[in-house]
Chains A and B, each alone.
Chain A
Amino acid sequence: MNRLSDGGRVDRSAPLRFTFDGVQYTGLRGDTLASALLANDVLHTAPSLYRGRPRGIATAGVEEPNALVQIEGPGAEPMRLATTVELYEGLSATSLRGRGRLDPALDEGVYDKMHVHTEVLIVGGGPAGLAAALAAARSGARVVLVDDQPELGGSLLAGREEIDGRPALDWVADVRAELTAQADTRILTRSTATGYYDHNYLLVAEDRTGRPGPVRQTLWHIRARRVVLATGSHERPMVFAGNDLPGVMSAAAVRAYLNRYAVLPGRRCVLLTTNDHAYAVALDLVSAGAQVAALVDTRPRPPAELVDSARRAGIEVIAGSAVVAARGGARVQAVRIAALDAADTISGPVREVACDLLAVSGGWSPAVQLWSQSQGSLRYDEALAAFVPDEAAQNVDSVGASRGVLDLAGCLDDGFAAGARAAALAGFPVAVPPTPPTSGDGRPARPRPVWVVPGESGEPSDWSEHFVDLQRDATVADVQRAIRAGMRSVEHIKRYTTIGTAHDQGKASGVSATGVIARLLGARSPGEVGTTTFRGPYVPLTFALLAGRERGALFDPVRTTAIHPWHVRHGAVFENVGQWKRPRYYPRPGESMEAAVLRECGAAREGVGVMDATTLGKIDVIGPDAGEFLNRVYTNAFAKLAVNSARYGVMCRADGMVFDDGVTLRLAQDHYVMTTTTGNAAGVLDWLEEWLQTEWPELRVRFTSVTEQWATVAVVGPRSREVLTALAPELDVSNDAFPFMTARQILLANGVSARICRISFSGELAFEINVASWYGLATWESVIRAGEHLGITPYGTETMHVLRAEKGYPIVGQDTDGTVTPHDLGMEWVVSRHKDFIGKRSFARADTARTDRRQLVGLLPVDPAVLLPEGAQLVADAEVAVPTKALGHVTSSYRSAALGRTFALALVAGGRERLGETVYAPLADGGMIAATITDTVLYDPKGTRRDG
């Protein structure tokens, strides 16, 4: 066991059993899976994806390149990092070789979304973030502090610093207590800010695993007046031979395992550093009982006080040198150390030192991912050897280590100032709190980055064990090969080598890779090469979290009419039309759709049928200029329509193509009610508003969607008059008293007020009864009762389609697409010559005025029993040599009870000149259907039936 007997943030009274790769272990509450594994002396992860090299846990956080695991059991999840998975009782995980497995079992987890507005959002609960939160919260502003760890403290959790003369974590606890006491401050732990979007909009993913309630994760959408990024920094790896061996670990990780998790990851350690950081780690190792065999510093003259303190602890400091190779089989066994000259070449003898752990600090890369996502610019700071935030693009400040401030006092200063500034800029002025005294290192001395530690022999092109991206198994040799292939742009080199594209997205290794590329390209510094763009999310997000609750029934709302329960009770088969559920047909037991539709059609043509027409869009058009407005949007005229009369109208887009159609009724001088197609109701209302507000604001007219207010029952068929008589005894339904295309307001026998229109979409005598939605179901049931003795038959959209097609009435969206004019539909009669309207000018364009455009025609299959498939293409000749240009296609096709045969509607080039011609529909199965072109009106062409 590698667990230290005391210290750390783990709870020794709370052992947790877990399984890894089939073996049972015990860890402690407060462990990550990685720290628990290391405590059990399990260092190894799965071997590398491409080259099968042994790999081990290399970091202690989100930047981990190796320790990918699959969480098993209920809620199996692929591709988690052992370094970020909090240990829990019964956790079962297996190591993954770079690729995860999706669990086919249904995910039962619940994923929530929250939406928050705040004055100040602080990302990161380390010293800088805490200081910022404290300062901002004291202003009384709304403050949100998010941090990805289970407890606040950030880097303080892994260190041994003091603040105000006490352990730093006591200060953290005090800050937390004060923030918690603030009414408008919210602390989100286990919450990772993953995305920073336009207008200060951030996404925060909160992991709620193991917490009360069914919710696994919550995605917070936070809009902030000001943002303070205190996201810290990632310690960079270094590139030398064998740098991928298990036992090569970031120095920061070693420190975290020691101090936070009380785990000693090695017994005999060497440290390799370019900067001050490794000295504190070395001292921590010694005090934890490890042997520190050497501390190798690339700087020829490291700060004397650091060197002295190390030597006092018995540590050999080897300055001006580097580890040029790590040696070992399954784990590092020794490192080879040599002096480097100013040009980073080996300038002395190579010495081998045995060890089982190599802690590496290649310098600090500020975690600028969110800054960069916010479109803020970066600059390369030569003194820090790091890319740091430069110009902000939004209302944001970056503080502490995330902008390159590495000392504790500096981070606190930075945080207090930024928190107060953020609150003040958001309208809540507040004083900057004084920074308490701190222990620990002062401002760090200048690092000496060594981007490529040379191999002991050969050229960069030979250095195929100098790993630049561990997950991609990409090496210095690969980078060199890309350059030799002519690649000069960092983007091309990264694509050539795939560096930076793996699961870790180059969080820790990205800047190292840039350094390698700069070095091999002969650039003066990484700043000349630049970074690639950082893209969200900062950490991978589950698809389910992004989907949230918009799944299943909540994916898209279902709209049903007031009459819907009756349809369900009577076995209707439904069709989705837009968001609506519409009855498609009402099969009797054992009845096919075809049989049901023929029966329903027969009833409507010979007796009486009834249909729920509620879903058609209905828009009140009210105002003194309502008529003038309708004249401009419809191709035909409405201004002179008599009150209580109705007219069919067609709307075109400005390009002259049919956009919608429907019947509009004039209820009063200044009040029309327009109907639209079911799927296009919202679109039409938007269209009307747009023209009114942006083009004709002088017109006094207003629109209100009343689709939901009215239920519409269409009573259709030669015996519909009898039903109406029973339903509304006081209404004179004779043709003279109540002619076609007029409306009457009446009290039904059941006491319900109704607007009844004589409108027909079937060619039969028909009445449309409109009542307030509340009475929709009751009215429908009254109609059914009133028609019972006549065999009244409910019918659905399928029968409606057949009936209207027999009459040649097109359905916009089925018999038209966006390329059909009213003329193409044979509707010259609906196009006014006497007024301008939207789209009129377009009819005169060369292509639109062609006489051989595709026109709507009827089709009668030569074999009256054969049904043309809708969507069949039509050609002039039975002999088809592919490729052939089609004449057109079948838009609607049905079996007709009334005609006793099949028929279809089609769009055919120059179709109206081809009446009587035979066309052919070649089918996918090799068959061919011949059909004769006819007029579109196949049933009752004289229109004698509409008056009963």
Chain B
Amino acid sequence: MLLIACPWCGEREELEFHYGGQAHVGYPANPEGLTDSEWAEYLFVRDNPKGLFAERWSHAAGCRRWFNLIRHTVTHQILAVQSNRPVAAGQPKPVIP
């Protein structure tokens, strides 16, 4: 069971969280302007790296806030946690070293 540091609540057991998959996949600005295959890419295709992964979690049984972190998908080491603000708000993506 992972120990995840919620940016608002601190370290909590994984049981309190919901997983949200890859971070920084924004809802397309103009869905009607996308081809079917571009739309399918948004709907269904996500990165699936063996290694560092920027992903979303929500502290579902706590403060209920969403946030992003960078986790290694083999070692499960968590390298960085960042409160969630979408790319649209101008915040740079965390850099995967």
Residues of A within 8 A of B (CB): 197-201, 223, 375, 393, 654-655, 686, 689-690, 693-695, 697-698, 836, 840-842, 844-846
Cross-chain contact A689 with B66 (CB below 8 angstroms): yes
Q: B60 an interface residue at 8 Å Cβ cutoff?
A: yes
How distant is the Cα of A841 from the Cα of B13 in the complex, in angstroms?
Answer: 38
| A197 nearest in chain B by CB position | B1
Cβ contacts under 8 Å, B56 to chain A: 694
B89 near A: Cβ within 8 Å?
yes
Q: With contacts A198-B2, A693-B84 known, what are 5 further pairs, Cβ within 8 A?
A: A199-B1, A199-B3, A201-B1, A842-B39, A844-B36
Q: Tell me whether B43 and A201 are in contact (CB under 8 A).
A: no
Pick the most buried of B26, B66, B89: most chain A CB atoms within 10 A of its CB.
B66
Instruction: Kindly list chain A residues whose C-beta atoms are within 8 Å of the C-beta of B2.
Output: 198-199
Known contacts: A840-B31, A841-B32. The answer to whether A689 contacts B64 by CB under 8 A is yes
CA gap between A200 and B3 in the complex, in Å: 9
Quick one: which of A197, A198, A655, A695 contacts B27, CB cutoff 8 A? A695
Q: Is the CB of B66 within 8 A of A841?
A: no
B93 within 8 A of A: no
Chain A residues closer than 8 Å to B79, beta-carbon distance: none
A686 and B60: CB pair below 8 A? yes
> Interface centre among A393, A690, A693, by most B CB within 10 Å?
A693
A841–B76 touching, CB < 8 Å:
no
Q: Give the interface residue-count category, chain B.
A: 20 to 34
Q: Taking CB as reference atom, which chain B residue is nearest A655?
A: B43
Q: Let me know if A693 and B66 touch, CB within 8 A.
A: yes
Contacts A689-B64, A690-B20; is A841 near B1 (CB within 8 Å)? no
Contacts of B42 in A (CB 8 A): 654
Q: Which single residue of chain A is at the shortest CB-CB distance from B85?
A: A697
Which residues in A have their C-beta under 8 angstroms from that of B7? none
Residues of A within 8 A of B26 (CB): 695
A-B contact pairs, 14 of them (CB 8 A): A197-B1, A198-B2, A198-B3, A201-B1, A223-B3, A686-B18, A686-B60, A689-B58, A693-B84, A694-B66, A840-B32, A841-B31, A841-B39, A845-B39
Per the bound structure, the CA–CA distance linking A842 and B39 in Å amounts to 8
**Interchain CB contact under 8 A, A199 and B31:** no
B1 surroundings in chain A (CB, below 8 A): 197-199, 201
User: Closest residue to B60 on the A side, CB-wise?
Assistant: A686
Give complex CA distance A686, B18 in Å. Answer: 9
A933 CA to B73 CA in the complex, in Å?
52
Shortest beta-carbon distance from A868 to chain B in Å: 35
Q: Is the CB of A393 within 8 A of B75?
A: yes
Q: Does B80 contact A (CB under 8 A)?
A: no
Q: Which residues of A contact B86 (CB under 8 A)?
A: 694-695, 697
What residue of chain B has the Cβ atom nearest to residue A200's Cβ? B3
CB neighbours of A686 from chain B (8 A): 18, 58, 60
Residues of B within 8 A of A223 (CB): 3, 13
Q: How far is the CB of B72 from chain A (nearest CB, A)?
A: 11
Query: How far apart are B88's CB and chain A's nearest CB, in angstroms?
Result: 8
Query: Which chain B residues (68-97) contact chain A, with CB distance < 8 Å?
Result: 75-76, 84-86, 89
Cα of A197 to Cα of B60 in the assembled complex, Å: 23
The CA of A457 and the CA of B43, in the complex, are separated in Å by 69
CA distance A568 to B18 in the complex (A): 36
Contacting A at CB under 8 A, from B7-60, are 13, 18, 20, 26-28, 31-32, 34, 36, 39-40, 42-43, 56, 58, 60
Closest A-B pairs by Cβ, 5 of them:
A841-B31, A199-B3, A693-B66, A198-B76, A695-B27
Decide yes or no: A654 and B43 within 8 Å by CB, A198-B76, A375-B75, A695-B27 being known contacts: yes
Residue of B nearest to A694 (CB): B66
In the bound complex, residues from chain B placing their C-beta under 8 Å from that of A845 are 36, 39-40
**Residue in B18, B58, B75, B89 whose beta carbon sits within 8 Å of that of A697 in the complex:** B89
CB-CB under 8 A from A198, the residues of chain B are 1-3, 76
Give B68's nearest chain A residue, CB to CB.
A694
Provide the residues of chain A in CB contact with B13, threshold 8 Å: 223
Chain A nearest CB, measured from B35 CB (Å): 10
The residue on A at minimum CB distance from B44 is A655
Tell me, in angstroms, the Cα distance from A336 to B1 when the chains sit together: 53
B66 contacts which of A375, A393, A690, A846 (Cβ < 8 Å)? Answer: A690
Known contacts A199-B2, A199-B3, A201-B3: A841-B89 contact under CB 8 Å = no
Contacts of B60 in A (CB 8 A): 686
List the A side residues contacting B40 at CB < 8 Å: 845
Nearest residue in A to B24 (C-beta to C-beta)? A694
Alpha-carbon gap, A702 to B91, bound state (A): 23
Interfacial chain B residues near A690, Cβ < 8 Å: 20, 58, 66
Distance between Cα atoms of A201 and B2 in the complex (Å): 8
B66: chain A residues at CB < 8 Å are 689-690, 693-694
Is B34 a contact of A841 with CB atoms below 8 Å? yes
**Chain B residue nearest to A654 in the complex (CB):** B43
Closest CB of chain A to B51's CB: distance in Å?
Answer: 15
From B18, B36, B76, B85, A846 is in contact (CB under 8 Å) with: B36
What B residues does A693 contact at CB under 8 A?
58, 65-66, 84
- In angstroms, how far is the closest chain A Cβ from the Cβ of B31? 4
Q: What's the nearest-Cβ distance from chain A to residue B5, in Å?
A: 10
Q: Which residues of B contact A846 (CB under 8 A)?
A: 36
**Docked CA distance A198–B1 (Å):** 6
- What residues on B are CB-neighbors of A694 within 8 Å? 20, 56, 66, 84, 86
Question: What residues on B are CB-neighbors of A689 within 8 Å?
Answer: 58, 64, 66
For residue B58, which residues in chain A have a CB less than 8 angstroms away from its CB?
686, 689-690, 693
B67: min CB distance to chain A, Å? 9
When distances are taken between beta carbons in the complex, the residues of chain B under 8 Å from A844 are: 32, 36
Tell me the bound Cα distance from A840 to B85 in angstroms: 25
How far apart are A198's CB and chain B's nearest CB, in angstroms? 5
- Chain A residue nearest in CB terms to B18: A686
Q: Which residues of A contact B27 (CB under 8 A)?
A: 695
User: When chains A and B are docked, how far (Å) is the Cα of A375 from the Cα of B76?
Assistant: 11
Residues of A near B43 (CB, < 8 A) are 654-655, 842
A716–chain B nearest beta-carbon distance, Å: 35
CA distance in complex: A246, B24 (Å): 65
**A898 CB to closest chain B CB, in angstroms?**
42
A842 to B56 CA separation, bound complex (whole angstroms): 24
The chain B residue with its CB closest to the CB of A698 is B89
Complex CA distance for A697 and B91, rounded to whole angstroms: 13
* Beta-carbon nearest neighbor of B1 in chain A: A201
Complex contacts, B84 vs chain A, CB 8 Å: 693-694
Considering the complex, give the chain B residue whose CB is closest to the CB of A199.
B3
CB distance from A686 to the nearest CB of B (A): 7
A654 to B25, CA, bound (A): 13
